[in-house]
Structure 1
């Protein structure tokens, strides 16, 4: 009996030590990202400015408003005019550069707060996170309370999948009642949207859609193979993710434009569904097969260390082995990528709103940096610079009512803005390196943005990320 009591005391003490170590690790991790705290950055804490001598790209039409003044009051665009007189506000000289809406990445997976700085440094002033966990609710709260510099932050709850689609990164649904309860729970806890995923059969999918409508939650759909592809054109579904799903599901990997056209026509006739192509993440399969040293590349030093150690490595090994077993796989992936560009072109020509998303944060798809690669693919697909920019501004903002305050430069809109050297309507690459980023009216210089990059590079938060993921497994499972 004494031995048993001693053993129990030892176990309790050990658990206490482990918990204490975990708390210390999380505290150190939080302290390491305090450079994002607004109150610690006095030089960028003001959110009211009068910008003068600036050329405005409003994005509600293909034009430049030359040599304007823009008054930002408490983080909101108050007025745009040739001349504005206002007292007791800092005047900022735009030096005849270009003011554009901040970019919106509509498909990301955020793993830590370092990534928030990476998005800002690349001109991304709003993100839609599509793999919700408890840590994202905390980020969302801090963004809402304006405690941290961050893109405007929107998140789905955990991915909803069918019962046989096993994985620790989703919620397996087995019946309609369970589906309804999941939607209600996510609404109550503060998630913005519902994400549907593989394996949802019709009864379960119908229950999710029905409850999402009652709970007033938009659905973001990674198509389920258990229902027809066009089933995802339900009015409650506001965007469909990944062009490769068109290839994999309705086309059954047949890269035939004649078979593609009826699918495009059906999507365009829905009049309410946006499409988020995420071309970059698929193209990165090709990049992994073409570069055997990609995991050691300089740019991957910006990836979350846990993701790099686990997901990036597993994806690389999968496609490296596929290439070794069948060298023609490389050509097959390249041809499918090229076909994705055709799909984007046809979606655009059919009037389907394309919204920019990268799948940043997984594999070798970098947070922030990848949006410029994604936009370049839309350009290659045949969209004009204005049409490309629309995918990451006005189109994205119109996808959900919650995002309507973003996407254009107009009175009453949120002052999530970029100042760039050249006119992006003629030189798209200028947005890759904004001189200033305004986030809710707060001005971040290029020097500050570069500092955000440096803080995220080679970060040492592998264990802290693992603990947050463990929290997710405990709470969500």
Structure 2
């Protein structure tokens, strides 16, 4: 069963297969012609410069960039253009600072391309892993196109953690160790979540100060807003805690993320039935005090209104023009998270609508009292795609009452102040880094003008619209190639488990689902694609009997009786062996991960089991297979990019003990949302199989 809270967090929050895989098996979509090349000196001429600080247009300017920095800004008659500079005619166009998305969850390098193509030149990433650090470095070195990355490590939460990829902790000393480790590993800041206790919060804040790291995130349910602000919480995400901080009646439950708290969910449902006057529950003086203290402490608020609308009756809608650029895994995940299984009752939905409106009202009051806002999208929660969602978030803020020029500052100048880099980022002035967007229209009149991009400059490189579009088109081509591979794959009945599609370097494909719902057995359905043909197999794994049946073909059984295992194929005995209490038939594909997980069950790190195995291949041809003994060892639990997001997975290593014909391989089995499903499969330390969805 999928973890309800995780799904809602996401919702808010003729030539054969080988030729089809020419594009598919690139794990990083990178336009190689544009990587690692720094543009020459550049001069934008006759361009209208947007002064975001004052909300003004300065017309017919020349802006000179040398070595990635703005060196001159002035009227065209007063500025000398360096010899050999690339001159870009800005007549009737508008030069705007690069956007900064202050709340994203990066997964792959493709995400960076979507952001860059939409004018986002800096991101604050709210959950990071070692792969994120590698992306950050690659961008800094000019090896990967994308925005500047400032990243947290794994999110720190209470127990049990809201998502399996979060680090759940209840001991303050353990929390200190997590902070120290993330600092040592090179992460930029710490993100906390809703479930940590006041004691853990205090420990995190104290340890973070020791390492000069800022702490941001959800306001924990057990930590009062004033306590958090005075302790130095740098930014509060989603405006969580605001309603509770302004409550006139302390007996009212905290309504934020009500799906996490049955009492809050019931109160929100009552609110939807009209049993409470929500506006009477808040005290304006309390919200003014929050604004005052936040200014004094240098704290910030990131509303993520567009993403938070997913908890209302007007969620972020699908948009085929944008969604096609997201990975296939993410598109599938969005479809699932939007499904009826996770719909709210009408009363609860009306209650969430009221909570959203009240939170927006309090945001306006905060802003009016001088509090600081940042723009963040929370991409890629359901139908909130990287990059494209920036304009939607700005529109949501304007609709909620934030003046248009102020919303634009919240995406440019305010983040520069937040990072302590005012004068370097967020505006167009001499000495600033040349993070720039050339626009066709004036965003001060309509933030939608940020969609009409003529080009983007980031990390010292200018990319015109055609080049950016070409990078996006490459992502679509890759997705279509993958879909083509699986277009003829068999459809399985829904077993209540996540579908896993894998591609191999040799062009083979595997589709597998493991259903653990039966106490007596695990049923695994697999399909193997080779040379444009698919073969389906159903595998029932029980304690003393395994049955493998190929569609319209071979039936293989493995039965344990009187201390021995007997392997038969279509009724003929292949071999009988004595010794190990567990055994299995293998296929040499990622389906083996699901099979062996069913055979050994959950093992703790360091535990191991021996088993007899016969490698019969995907065709189930066991006629010449000989029994071998393998050792299956649980190595560790780690967080990896999985089914469209970061998830926690158990790592198993398999090696031959006897005969040695089995090539060592490793597999990863998901916890949390996709529990029990294979998410990675490597043979002999390489990655011949890549999970697609």
Distance 1:73 1:183 in 2: 39
1:62 and 2:59 are equivalent in the alignment: no
Give deviations 1:197-239, integer Å, cap 9, x for gaps.
Answer: 1221122111110111110111112111122233221353211
1:298 deviates by 5.3
Distance in structure 2 (CA, Å) of the matches to 1:434 and 1:255: 42
Q: 2:450 aligns with which of 423, 428, 431?
A: 431
Larger displacement relative to structure 2 (262-271 or 67-76):
262-271
Higher helix share: 1
With normalisation by structure 2, the TM-score equals: 0.59
Give me the whole-angstrom Cα distance separating, in 1, the residues matched to 2:289 and 2:475: 43
Name 1:397's counterpart in structure 2.
Answer: 416
- CA distance 1:312–1:111, change in 2 (3 Å): farther
Q: CA deviation digits over 1:299-330, x for unaligned, max 9?
A: 4333333233346513544543x2xxx32333
Correspondent of 1:303 among 290, 305, 326: 326
Q: Equivalents in 2 of 1:456, 1:27: separation in Å?
A: 10
Moved more, 243-252 or 192-201: 243-252
CA distance in 2, matches of 1:219, 1:472: 26
Deviation at 1:404, TM superposition (A): 6.7
In the alignment, does 2:226 pair up with 1:50?
no
> Pick from 450, 455, 460: which aligns with 1:441?
460
Length-normalised TM-score, structure 1:
0.84
Q: Name the SS of the counterpart of 1:96 in structure 2.
A: coil
Contact map agreement 2:172 2:203 (CA 8 A) in 1: yes
Out of 341-350 and 213-222, give the one that drifted further: 341-350
Q: Distance in 2 between matches of 1:182 and 1:207?
A: 10
**C-alpha contact 2:44 2:88 (8 A) present in aligned 1:** yes
**Aligned 1:26-105 pairs, distance under 5 A:** 28-30=25-27, 32-35=28-31, 38-39=34-35, 45-82=38-75, 83-85=78-80, 86-105=82-101
1:326-365 CA distance string (max 9 Å, x none) = 3233333333333333122112111111100111112221
Contact 2:246–2:284 (8 Å) recurs in 1: no
Please give the alpha-carbon distance, in whole angstroms, between the structure 2 residues aligned to 1:426 and 1:289: 26
Shift of 1:287: 6.0
Show CA shifts across 1:73-93 (max 9, x none): 111111212222222322222
Question: Could you tell me how far 1:53 is from its partner in structure 2?
Answer: 0.8
What are the Cα deviations for residues 226-260 of structure 1, in whole angstroms up to 9, with x where unaligned? 22233221353211001254346765347326615
Is residue 309 of structure 2 the alignment partner of residue 283 of structure 1? yes
**Counterpart residue number, 1:256:** 279
Query: Conserved in 2, the CA contact under 8 Å of 1:156 and 1:191?
Result: yes
Aligned to 2:466, the other structure's residue is in SS state helix
Gaps of 5+ in 1: 1-23
CA drift at 1:472: 7.9
| Structure 2 residue 134 is the aligned partner of structure 1 residue 108 | no
Q: How has the CA–CA distance of structure 1 residues 403 and 63 changed in structure 2, closer, same or farther, with 3 Å as cutoff? A: closer
- Distance in 2 (CA, whole Å) between partners of 1:473 and 1:75 is 44
Q: Does 1:148 align with 2:144?
A: yes
Q: Measured at CA, do residues 426 and 298 of structure 1 come closer, stay the same or move farther in structure 2, by a change above 3 Å?
A: closer
- Map 1:364-443 to 2 at 5 A: 364-401=383-420, 405-443=424-462
* C-alpha distance in 1 between matches for 2:450 and 2:203: 42
Aligned partners of 1:436 and 1:443 also within 8 Å: yes
* Corresponding residue number in structure 1 for 2:5: none
Tell me how many residue pairs correspond in the alignment.
442
RCO higher in structure (CA 8 A, sep ≥6): 1
- Give the equivalent residue in structure 1 for 2:606: none
Q: Is the 8 A contact 1:36 1:117 kept in 2?
A: no
Segments of 5+ residues of structure 2 without an aligned counterpart are 1-20, 248-253, 256-276, 484-500, 504-640, 652-667, 672-693
